[in-house]
Structure 1
Amino acid sequence: MKRLFIFLGIIAVLGLTAAKLLSNKEKTEQKVYVPDPDPKVGVKVAVAELRDLSQESGFLGSFDPNRKAEIRPQAGGEIVKLNVEVGQHVAAGQLIAKIDDEQLHYQVEALQVTLEGYQNDLKRYEALVKGDAVPAVNVERTELSIRSTQAQIKQLNKQIKNTSIIAPFGGIITAKMVEKGSVVSQGTPIAEITDISSLKLVVNIPEKSVNEFRTGKSISVHTDVYPHANFNGRVTMVAAQGDEAHNYPVEITVQNSSTNPLKAGMYGSIASAARVKGEALAVPRQAIMGSAKQPQLYVVENGKAALRDVAVGATTNEYYEITKGLKAGDQVVTSGQINLQNGTSVIAQ
């Protein structure tokens, strides 16, 4: 009987040990990372819907000045005259500032005295050479000294001219960095001049519409500041290379008006030549991938990304018209395409 109890006790201990080991195994398996065989990628989506693109078929940009430059002296020293203030109109060639040139004038005066002495020596040597009283080499040396002194005088006169700082072109003083009495070195900016006699409206044009613009083409420009005024512009530059979003900067030059004066930084807009009638199925520009010849986008279907070929029509700054490959209500991916492949599971945000 005693042996039976011992045997049963051993069996019970083994059973408890086995149960404990099994429980530990289950807990360990729960802690082990098991990769998701179908991971989901977070993306941003938008709904393809009908839009009246004819109301949005324009492009917005901002005006840049025709010319803008920092005025920097070609000589260093103390500023003894400063003839401009911020906001002042200046003409091309007008004196902006004057740097002290007193010492340079003294040096020119000393060299002129030296030059006069050499010229007098030359006359005497020429007379003595005729009588064979001095060698001809003295004449040659004196002539070289005269030429050297004249060159030094020219150099100093150039430095004196550089102490007068003039406006490189007509415009408005938009910044002043120094005051009268300041000591500046060569190349230190002392003022900024901006020319807004004409302005450049810079507009980013989508790839689909960039061929509407040619250098020299006349185009009408409108502004929010003067909603009833029409400005005549001329295309002066079409960028040869676009940015990552396939936008191409186009520059349109507009002559400023005294009746409706424009300022740099103002907004301007131009109308698109694209003819869009009524409503059209459209998606945000960020949804379109690929090239102009083969545009594509991802559509979310049953929780998965499906790559589709589409055909695009008119464009605006914000939207592409979709003429084929999509229907109203489809969810299109606008952000996160780089992480997608055809059939990837997604979480729409």
Structure 2
Amino acid sequence: MKRAFIFIALLATIGLTAAKLLNNKEKTEAKVYRPDPDQRIGVKTATVEKRNLSQESGFLGSFSPNRQAQISPLAGGQLVRLLIQEGQYVQAGQLVAKLDDEQLHYQVEALQVTLEGYQNDLRRYEVLVKGDAVAAVNLERTALNIRATQAQIKQLNKQIQNTNVTAPFSGIITEKLVEKGSVVSIGTPIAEITDIAVLKLVVDVPEKSINHFHPGQSIAVKTDVYPDHNFAGKVSLISSKGDAAHNYPVEIMVQNSKNNPLRAGMYGSVTNSNQVKGEGLSVPRQAIIGSAKNPQLFVIENGKAILKDVSVGTTNNEYYEITKGLKEGDKVVTSGQINLQNGTAVLAQ
């Protein structure tokens, strides 16, 4: 009897436990979120339309000299004449400095005396050799001495010529590095010359716009110093290597103006117009998702967001041109894509 009572009590305990667990399961399942199959996700949309996507892009840079070099002598010695001042304009080949060449002239004079003696000997030997009075070897030796002396004179004349320091090209003396009386050696810079008859404007162009430039292209250049004047520029170089930010240096040659003179270091800008022929289908930039190589967007079809691959063309600050994947009048999602999957029911706003 006692065992039966214990068995009944055990069954009752198990039953209560099972009922408790079942009740807890029902409560837990009631708390689990179950999406409403009829619920729609609110999104913002735009209509695919034809638009003119022309865009003007401005690029800023600074002017640098066409040429800049240091003037250095080809000989060493004391500067006896210095014919330049900072800011002075000089022509190509103009004498800018003179080194002491007095000793070189003395050496040339001495060699000329020696040469004259050899030439007199040569004339005498020519007469004596004809009469067999002296050996022909004396005549040959004298002729060789004449040639060697003439070579030494040419060498000294070249050294004298090198004491004249001239401008390598036309330009402005932007820095004078020595004074008259200084002793310089070969290659010592004595001045800096800058050519700004033509200036180089270098602008950094981003990757998406680099194909709008080409060598030889004529382009207008503006500067804040002369806001009402356009300078004629020509693209001379497009770098084949960009920097870490995918910007490519573009070099533009600009002829300087007497009436509106430019200076190295001034800022200049160019404007390049990216013109699209006619109109093209376009969508707001916010509609495009995915990567640059695989652009995608959501299109509203029968109340659902359908993910589609598209091909994009020209862009500007607001719109992408769509070259493949859409048709005029389609509705595309521009906001709320983060909550969407392919086929999600949506409520367009």
TM-score tier (shorter): 0.5 to 0.7
Q: 1:254 to 1:241 in 2, by over 3 A?
A: same
In 2, the alpha carbon distance for the partners of 1:116 and 1:230 equals: 67
Q: 1:115 to 1:330 in 2, by over 3 A?
A: farther
Deviation at 1:54, TM superposition (A): 8.3
Amino acid at match of 1:218: S
In 2, the alpha carbon distance for the partners of 1:70 and 1:326 equals: 63
Deviation at 1:214, TM superposition (A): 1.4
Deviations 1:140-184 (A, max 9, x none): 111110000000000000000000000111110001110000000
Deviation at 1:235, TM superposition (A): 1.0
In 1, the alpha carbon distance for the partners of 2:114 and 2:195 equals: 47
TM-score, reference length from structure 1: 0.66
Deviation at 1:293, TM superposition (A): 5.3
Larger Cα-atom Rg: 2
Aligned position for 1:92: 92
Q: 1:330 to 1:234 in 2, by over 3 A?
A: farther
Deviations 1:310-330 (A, max 9, x none): 968547xxx897779996799
Deviations 1:86-136 (A, max 9, x none): 101111111110000000000000100000000001001111100101100
Aligned position for 1:170: 170
Deviations 1:196-242 (A, max 9, x none): 11111111111211111111111111101101101111111111222
Aligned positions of 1:162-311 closer than 5 A: 162-275=162-275, 281=285
Question: Is residue 65–residue 194 contact of structure 2 (8 Å, CA) maintained in 1?
Answer: yes
- Hey, which bits of structure 1, 4+ residues long, moved more than 6 A? 53-56, 309-312, 319-326, 328-331
Question: Is residue 119–residue 146 contact of structure 1 (8 Å, CA) maintained in 2?
Answer: yes
Aligned position for 2:9: none
Amino acid at match of 1:114: T
Amino acid at match of 1:134: V
Computed over aligned residues only, the root mean square deviation of the Cα atoms, in angstroms, reads: 3.3
In 2, the alpha carbon distance for the partners of 1:180 and 1:74 equals: 17
Q: Secondary structure at the match of 2:202?
A: strand
Q: 1:54 to 1:313 in 2, by over 3 A?
A: closer
Question: Is residue 86–residue 174 contact of structure 1 (8 Å, CA) maintained in 2?
Answer: yes
Amino acid at match of 1:239: S
Q: Which runs of 5+ in 2 are unaligned?
A: 1-52, 296-309, 323-331, 339-349
Question: Is residue 203–residue 251 contact of structure 1 (8 Å, CA) maintained in 2?
Answer: yes
Q: Secondary structure at the match of 2:141?
A: helix
Deviation at 1:56, TM superposition (A): 7.1
Aligned positions of 1:22-171 closer than 5 A: 57-171=57-171
Which deviates more from structure 2 when the two are superposed, residues 172-181 or residues 207-216?
207-216
Q: 1:321 to 1:97 in 2, by over 3 A?
A: farther
Amino acid at match of 1:88: Q
In 1, the alpha carbon distance for the partners of 2:152 and 2:333 equals: 80
Q: Secondary structure at the match of 2:103?
A: helix
Deviation at 1:274, TM superposition (A): 2.0
In 2, the alpha carbon distance for the partners of 1:107 and 1:249 equals: 55
Q: Secondary structure at the match of 1:228?
A: strand
Q: Which runs of 5+ in 1 are unaligned?
A: 1-52, 283-289, 296-308, 332-349
In 2, the alpha carbon distance for the partners of 1:70 and 1:190 equals: 7
Amino acid at match of 2:80: V
Question: Is residue 96–residue 166 contact of structure 1 (8 Å, CA) maintained in 2?
Answer: yes
In 2, the alpha carbon distance for the partners of 1:258 and 1:330 equals: 59
Aligned position for 1:40: none
Question: Is residue 55–residue 273 contact of structure 2 (8 Å, CA) maintained in 1?
Answer: no
TM-score, reference length from structure 2: 0.66
Q: 1:280 to 1:161 in 2, by over 3 A?
A: farther
